[in-house]
Amino acid sequence: MRTALLGLLLLVAVTTAAADETPHVALQPAEGDFVLHNFEFRSGARLPELRLHYMTLGHLVRDRAGHATNAVLILHGTGGDGRQFLRPQFADVLFRPGGLLDPARYFIILADGIGHGHSSKPSDGLKARFPEYGYADMVVAQHALVTSGLGADHLRLILGTSMGCMHAFVWGETYPDAMDALMPLACLPVQIAGRNRMWRKMLIDAIRNDPAWQGGDYPAEPQTALRTAADLLLLAGTAPLVAQQTLPTRDAADRFVEESITRSMAGMDANDLLYQVSASKDYDPSARLESIAAAVTWINSADDFINPPELGIAEREAKRLKHGRFVLIPASERTHGHGTHTWAELWQPELSNLLDRSARPAH
């Protein structure tokens, strides 16, 4: 799957190059597609059929009034898909029997966002004629999937990583009564600017300025553009301490780069990637953070290239959350840079605390 390979590259960088992607716990997700007819994007463009792919674990439970009580929505990052959360570093920690998100207790929703995984995307055939989408469009479609598609009128928890972290903030502002708790991992609730925007623009420009891209109508993938994109994604996802320890020589680092880039380029589509990275253009929840009603535990890691702690943004903005808590995980041999968001053992105590403090009284 194209986006799954890209998601793996950005998600875990150095430390999971040899990781087993098969969960060790026994999971049998249900899989399906939800189609939104005549979907209108914020730009005014319409798509006759917008397909959202999803997987679910467990069964939906309702209270006496018919409201969902145990639905959990987990949102992936740029270039990823819902299947990434079945990897051992996430699934074996949270979805195991007795785990914090044991499917025997919770109805877990793993959705592929617009433009990702098996959901509708440019590479399905429309190429650059596919409507441009933003994070607001993605969240509206997710809400339709959850409510109309899966019948969950309320969410116990939304947990999001990277782009999914940003989507969690958008959910909290757009649908403030839709969830009990939010756990955004690895993002900032402000417009993407500074170095974060710089590397994204470099990636976008690399694709658009490659003559082989041909305005998005290429007969073969533009290799120069994809090489530059893969380079930037690999660098953005690495953790400096772990990289230095696991790649201690020049030759080891060079070999790792070549092997990683070759592997990731084989799974890329230039238009899909361009749209995925460009989608953040409408993201800026900073004006309405006070409107978030849910309990929030927001977690970043200190070795995150994309969201460096020295900016001081997280500490400043966290004060505006009514029921919010910000946690910065110190860099160590156990952290994974930006990809720390998916190594659940590093932050599961905070998830336990969030679930406890956001629990509704039993009726």
pLDDT at 133: 98
Residue 260 domain flag: no
Q: Which helix (H) or strand (E) holds 206?
A: helix 194-208
Give CA 257 to chain center in angstroms: 24
Residue 109 domain flag: yes
pTM: 0.93
* pLDDT one-digit tens code per residue, 295-335: 999 999 999 999 999 999 999 999 999 999 999 999 999 99
Question: Which CATH number do you get for residue 336?
Answer: 3.40.50.1820
Tokens (6 digits) for 331: 């860099």
Q: How confident is the model at residue 1 (pLDDT cuts 50, 70, 90)?
A: very low
Q: Which domain holds residue 40?
A: 2-194+278-357
pLDDT at 58: 98
Q: Which residue has the tokens 């025997």?
A: 104
- Number of independent structural domains in the chain: 1
Residue 323 domain flag: yes
Residue 287 domain flag: yes
152-171 residues labelled b (16+ CB within 10 A) or e (exposed): bebbbbbbbbbbbbbbbbbb
Q: Which residues, in sequence order, are CB contacts of 273 under 8 Å at separation 6+? A: 6, 79, 203, 207, 226, 229
Local structure of 261: helix, strand or coil = helix
C-beta separation of 165 from 185 below 8 A: yes
Q: How confident is the model at residue 26 (pLDDT cuts 50, 70, 90)?
A: confident
* Radius of gyration over every alpha carbon of the chain, rounded to an integer in angstroms: 19
In angstroms, the CA 282 to CA 40 distance is 16
Alpha-carbon dihedral of residues 63, 69, 71, 73, nearest 10 degrees?
A: 140
Cβ-defined contacts of 92-97 (< 8 Å, 24+):
92/23, 92/24, 92/25, 93/344, 93/345, 93/348, 94/344, 94/348, 94/351, 95/23, 95/25, 95/27, 95/57, 96/25, 97/25
Residue 319 domain flag: yes
C-beta separation of 359 from 157 below 8 A: no
* pLDDT one-digit tens code per residue, 201-249: 999 999 999 999 999 999 999 999 999 999 999 999 888 888 999 999 9
Q: How confident is the model at residue 23 (pLDDT cuts 50, 70, 90)?
A: confident
In angstroms, the CA 80 to CA 115 distance is 10
pLDDT at 19: 42
Residue 216 domain flag: no
